[in-house]
């Protein structure tokens, strides 16, 4: 067999590749052969595996199923250890994010999960605009389509308003999909239905009596404000759940940042500006200078 043909043999390629992998493994992990080679599946692990099965299937596993689950776990553990030995976790974005997330979760678990009433009240006092209640309105409206009435619009709206003020029960205005009334609707709800311009105008209308015409993106309306509740800062009892959630979230963020900063002090970070394109050269250089 000629040397050229030998070099083309797949078996030779396989042997060379295997030798390279063995060399790489030994170079990167000179202690790998001396690493512990025992995998212990203790009672706690077995109970955890069985519990996870039961959560998924709403029943405990059979003996055969449990043995299969244990075998799967052992297989994963073998692959995991060998992968770590070969440093396959390095430069893997998914593994990197997952490990970072687990450490973040550990930090979050250290944050407090309760707060006293005095602490909640202090938070509410410090952030009143987060919890301030919007104005609320109860109203009736009668709609007019300008395209339908043309030049008669102003006169017909005025006539309808006079009829409403005299207690007319006749059907007035034009058919529309818009609601004829809203009950205890917030200012944002009114704006969502009729538009912000409409909501801004009715905020200044007096309670009682028909007013208008008030323009909206749909046309014009006669409006009766039946009641109005002004914007107010509610007592703690009304917004306790929201205040507790926000306070604990802020504390968790503070705790997490403090934890990170304590770890960050252990490292010196150097950002090197290597080969780059003209598009990002300025940004990379600026980062290197800042660090």
pLDDT at 29: 45
| Each residue's pLDDT tens digit, 225-238 | 999 999 999 999 99
Sign of the Cα torsion 50, 56, 58, 61 reads negative
Residue 122 has pLDDT above 70, yes or no: yes
Residue 36 has pLDDT above 80, yes or no: no
Over residues 96-123, the mean pLDDT reads: 88
- Least-confidence region, from 151-160, 230-239, 278-287: 278-287
* Band (282; pLDDT cuts 50, 70, 90): low
Q: Are 136 and 229 in contact (CB under 8 A)?
A: yes
Residue 39 has pLDDT above 60, yes or no: yes
Q: Give the closest residue to 229 by CA, choosing from 139, 166, 160.
A: 139
pLDDT at 1: 52
Residue 25 has pLDDT above 60, yes or no: no
Residue 133 has pLDDT above 70, yes or no: yes
Over residues 118-132, the mean pLDDT reads: 95
pLDDT at 269: 77
| Each residue's pLDDT tens digit, 194-247 | 999 999 999 999 999 999 899 999 999 999 999 999 999 999 999 999 999 999
Read out DSSP for 166-209? TT--S--S---SS-SEEEEEEHHHHHHHH-HHHHHHHTTSPSSS
- Mean pLDDT, rounded, of the chain: 84
Rounded Cα distance, 88 and 82, in Å: 9
Give the three-class secondary structure for 145.
Answer: coil
List, edge to edge, every strand of the sheet that includes 210-215: 181-186, 136-144, 220-229, 210-215
* Band (168; pLDDT cuts 50, 70, 90): confident
Residue 111 has pLDDT above 70, yes or no: yes
| Each residue's pLDDT tens digit, 45-66 | 999 999 999 999 999 999 999 9
pLDDT at 106: 83
pLDDT at 11: 47
pLDDT at 275: 58
Residues 6+ apart with CB under 8 A from 205: 211, 214, 223, 225
Q: Are 73 and 65 in contact (CB under 8 A)?
A: no
The predicted model scores a pTM of 0.56
pLDDT at 281: 54
Rounded Cα distance, 184 and 195, in Å: 17
Cβ count near 202 (within 10 Å): 24
Give percent of the chain with pLDDT exceeding 90.
58
Residue 89 has pLDDT above 80, yes or no: yes
Residue 73 has pLDDT above 90, yes or no: yes
């Amino acid at each position: 067999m000629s040397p050229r043909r030998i070099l083309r043999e797949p078996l030779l390629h396989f042997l060379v590749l295997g030798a390279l992998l063995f060399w790489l493994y030994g170079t990167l992990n000179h202690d790998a052969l001396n690493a512990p080679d025992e995998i212990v599946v203790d009672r706690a692990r077995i109970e955890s595996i069985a519990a996870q099965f039961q959560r998924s299937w709403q029943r405990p596993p059979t003996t055969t199923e449990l043995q299969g689950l244990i075998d799967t776990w052992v297989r994963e553990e073998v692959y995991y250890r060998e992968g770590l030995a070969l440093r396959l976790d390095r430069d893997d974005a998914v593994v990197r994010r997952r490990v970072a997330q687990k450490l973040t979760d550990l930090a979050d678990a250290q944050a407090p999960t309760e707060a006293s009433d005095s602490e909640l009240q202090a938070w509410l006092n410090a952030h009143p605009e987060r919890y301030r209640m919007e104005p609320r309105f109860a109203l009736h409206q009668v709609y007019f389509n300008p395209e339908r009435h043309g030049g008669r619009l102003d006169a017909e709206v005025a006539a309808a308003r006079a009829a409403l003020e005299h207690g007319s029960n006749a059907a007035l205005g034009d058919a529309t999909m818009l609601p004829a009334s809203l009950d205890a609707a917030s200012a944002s709800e009114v704006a969502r239905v009729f538009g912000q311009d409409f909501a801004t105008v009715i905020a200044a209308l007096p309670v009682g009596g028909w007013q208008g015409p008030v323009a909206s993106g749909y046309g014009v309306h006669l409006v009766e404000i039946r009641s109005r509740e002004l914007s107010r800062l509610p007592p703690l009892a009304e917004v306790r759940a929201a205040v507790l959630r926000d306070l604990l979230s802020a504390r968790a963020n503070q705790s997490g940042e403090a934890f990170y900063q304590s770890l960050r002090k252990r490292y010196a970070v150097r950002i090197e500006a290597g080969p780059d394109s003209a598009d990002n050269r300025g940004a990379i250089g600026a980062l290197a200078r800042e660090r």
